[in-house]
Amino acid sequence: MSKDFLVLDQVAKTYADGTVAVRGIDLRIAEGEFVVLLGPSGCGKTTTLRMVAGLELATGGTIRLDGKDVTGLPPSQRDVGFVFQFYALYPHLRVADNIAFPLVATGVPPRERKERVAAVAESLGITGLLDRSPRQLSGGDRQRVSLARAMVRRPRVWLMDEPLGTLDADVRDTLRDFIREQQLAHRVTTLYVTHDQEEAMALADRVVVMDAGLIQQAGPPAAVYDRPANRFVATFVGSPGMNFLPGASGEGLFVPSAGGPGIAAAGLPPGPAILGIRAEHLRLTTVGAGVPGTVAGGEYLGAWRLVHVRLGDGSLAVVRSPSSDRSDRPASAIGDAVGLAIAPAGVRWFATDGSSLEAR
C-alpha cells in the first residue's frame, strides 16, 4: 500500500428535508487497502459508501479516485464494482449471463466476455455454477456470483454494503474469509460497510468507526480495540464493550466511586475521571482485595465465561475469562460478594465528557 488512492475531503450529505446524514468527513484510502466503515444504523456509513459509488451525490466536499475528481460523475464513470447485502441477480438469466451483464452493458466483445467470465469463475471456484439459474443457488453461492459480477469488470475499487448480512453464521464466516482471500489476491482497493464489529475486525486493514455522521476513530483493528478514542468507540467495539468505573484522581492515585483500593494513575490530572477496562483485564477476587461488588449473573459462551458484577455505585461490570481457567476464582453464584482486580496494563483513562485522556 502506498499513495492515497481514494480520497474523501470534507464530504457531506444533507437531504432535502434537512436531515444531515454525513457531516463533512475526511478519509484517505491507499491503493490496495481494505477499509471497513463500522457503526450503528443511521451513523452515515452506507450514505458515505453510496456517495463514493455515485448512487447519491454529495452536498459538500470532494471525492477523488486516483487523483480524478469524481464527485459529480455517475456510477458508470467511476470504475467501481458493487456487492450489496441483497444479491440483485437477474432471476431469468443463467449465472454466466449474470456475471457477464456489466460487460454487455459496456460493449465488451462476446469472445472477450466469455473469456473473462470463465477466468473470474475459476478464480472464485464457481465454474460448476455457470449454467445454473440464481434460484438453484444457496445464499453463499449467490453472494459469490455477486462478487464475480463485481470483479469481472476489473474495477479499481470494490464497494461492499453489508454483503454477509442475510447469510447464516457458518456461511457468513466462510464467505468472509473468502472475500478477504480474493481481495488480497487481486489487491483491489476495497471500501466495506458493516455494523458487525467482529466482521470488521476480521477483514480490515483499517477500521473507520462512525457515529452521528462523523468519523469517531480510524486505525488498524487492534489499535481501535486497545486504544479507543472515546467512550463511544470503547463501547461499540468489542463484545462485551469496555467497562467504565467513574471516580476521582489525585496525588497519583485514582479512587473508584464504587470503592476499593486506589489505582496507580501517574500523569492523570486531579479531579473527576473515568477508568476504562476491557472485560478480559478484570479478574474476580475476594472481598477487600479489589473493587467491591455482587455477582448479578453469568453467561457460558463455550471457550469464554462472562460474569456480571453489580458495583456499589449501581454500575455493572463484566468479567471475561477462559472457561477452563479455574485458578484463584472465588465462588460466583448470583448474590455472592466479590472483588474486582484490575490489570494495570489494561487501564484506559477518559474524561467525564467521554473523550480519551490519553490522547491529550
For 217-229, the pLDDT digits (tens) are 999 999 999 999 9
Helix or strand (DSSP H, E) at 69: strand 68-69
What is the reported pLDDT for 160?
Answer: 92
Phi, psi of 128 (to 5 degrees): -70, -5
What is the reported pLDDT for 331?
Answer: 58
* Helix runs in the chain, H state only: 45-53, 95-105, 110-124, 139-152, 169-186, 197-203, 221-226, 231-236
CB neighbourhood size of 110 (10 A): 10
pTM of the model: 0.89
Half-sphere exposure of 175 (CA within 13 A, CB side): 24
What is the reported pLDDT for 360?
Answer: 47
Round the CA-based radius of gyration of the chain to a whole number and report it.
25
Q: Where along the chain do its domains lie?
A: 4-235, 242-350
Which three-class secondary structure state does DSSP give residue 99? helix
Residues 168, 206, 75: CA angle, nearest 5 degrees: 75
Q: Which CATH superfamily is domain 4-235 in?
A: P-loop containing nucleotide triphosphate hydrolases (3.40.50.300)
Whether domain 242-350 has CATH 3.40.50.2000: no
Q: Is there a contact between 343 and 282 (Cβ–Cβ < 8 Å)?
A: yes
Strand partners, 247: 256, 273
Distance, CA of 330 to CA of 137 (rounded, Å): 52
- Helix crossing, 110-124 with 169-186: angle to 10°? 120
Question: For 257-326, what is the HEC assignment?
Answer: CCCCCCEECCCCCCEEEEEEECHHHEEEECCCCCEEEEEEEEEECCCEEEEEEEECCCCEEEEEEECCCC
pLDDT tens, per residue, the chain with 360 residues:
468 999 999 999 999 999 999 999 999 999 999 999 999 999 999 999 999 999 999 999 999 999 999 999 999 899 898 887 665 788 999 999 999 998 998 899 999 999 999 998 998 889 999 999 999 998 888 888 988 888 888 889 999 998 887 777 877 888 888 889 888 888 999 999 999 999 999 999 999 999 999 999 999 999 999 999 999 999 999 999 999 999 999 989 999 999 999 999 988 999 999 999 999 999 999 988 999 999 999 998 899 999 999 998 999 999 998 888 765 465 578 999 999 999 999 999 999 999 999 744
Distance, CA of 58 to CA of 11 (rounded, Å): 7
Residue 171: all three cell numbers together: 456461511
